Amino acid sequence: MRSREIPRCHMITSRHNQEIVVCLGLTYFYSRVSGNTVDLGASDLADKARQFPAVFEPAPGGSSSSLSLLLSSFPGDLEISEYCRDLLLIFGQRYEAYVKCLVPAARPVKVCENCFSSYVNLNETYNNISDQVGPGNVSCRDSLLRSDRLMVVFVLFNNLKDLWEKSGCSHCITKGFQGLTNDTLAFMTTLNQTQTCFDTYQQGNHTELCQKCKNTYKDLNELYRTLEKDLNMCIDVEDAMNITRRIWSKTFNCSLPREETVPVIAVSSFMLFLPIIFYLSSFLHSEQKKRKLIHPKRAKSYNSLMNIQDKQN
């Protein structure tokens, strides 16, 4: 590999096995593999020196500081205003906070109850990027959302927005994002009472638990059916009810008589006696027809007998 004497230059080694020499805003590349050198003439030096500020001057701290200094002054930064850079930084912080909240709330599912405030903050920042205009009528929509094919900010936010919508969190959170709705609070309160009852009697006889906790568990089921009928529940409520039902039926082997049992028995009994009623009615109807068929014959024979007696007389 060739080297050159370049005044006021600093040589650093990149992870791609290349040596980069930085000198007054100029970069020379020396490839260890091919041995080629990209050189710049005197006229190019002047052009490049005017194009780039002197932020590329050699840093005495070492190669890593020089490389970070080189990357921090990428010309693309000129396309983004300071206002948009600040918004991008805030978006990253709030995105991280929301994801950190989602992971612990994944099991059991509490993504709506625990993380709605983080989602509100993230949504607010994204709206500022996409819709709001900053100082000096600066808009960050084009520069941060759609300036490249990857569209990182746009894709990241829409993935989390899709997760929010699939979770049905809007059914459990008030429209102003102030907290849980009244129906959801009532369900959660009854759920806590049911779980407290389970914790109280689970160490003893499960038969006693089934008896003592029956009313609370029944109230919880009724609340859930109401929310389910009105399509007014989120994934938190759905998952909590599924877990409670599995504990009630499989862990404690309890059962709850359903109100539909009496109508089902009545309909089943009617269907059972329906063939008997059918055959009985058919039998009675056939007997009635037999009587109608016999009656005219008797009447005819009676008239013939009367005619014979009249002739004899």
For 35-52, how does the pLDDT look when each residue is reduced to its tens digit (9 = 90+)?
Answer: 444 444 444 544 544 444
More confident residue, 310 or 54: 310
Q: Answer yes or no: is pLDDT of 55 > 50.
A: no
Residue 52 zone, left/alpha/beta (φ > 0; ψ -120 to 50; rest): beta
Q: Answer yes or no: is pLDDT of 53 > 50.
A: no
Q: What is the pLDDT of residues 238-296, one digit of tens each?
A: 999 999 999 999 999 998 766 555 566 667 776 776 777 766 777 666 766 555 555 55
Residue 251 is given by DSSP the state I
Identity of the highest mean pLDDT range in 10-14, 60-64, 221-225, 252-256: 221-225
Cα dihedral sign, 272-274-279-283: positive
Nearest-angstrom CA–CA distance, 26 and 40: 9
More confident residue, 83 or 303: 83
* Res 126: pLDDT: 97
CB-CB neighbours of 29 under 10 Å:
14
Task: Tell me the whole-structure pTM to 2 decimals.
Answer: 0.60
* Res 47: pLDDT: 53
Q: What is the pLDDT of residues 137-180, one digit of tens each?
A: 888 998 999 889 999 999 999 999 999 999 999 999 998 899 99
Q: Answer yes or no: is pLDDT of 208 > 80.
A: yes
* Res 232: pLDDT: 87
End-to-end CA distance of the chain: 158
pLDDT averaged over the chain?
Answer: 76
**Mean pLDDT, to the nearest integer, of 213-238?**
94
Print burial letters for 134-143: b (CB count within 10 Å at least 16), e (below 16).
beeeebbeeb
* Res 303: pLDDT: 57
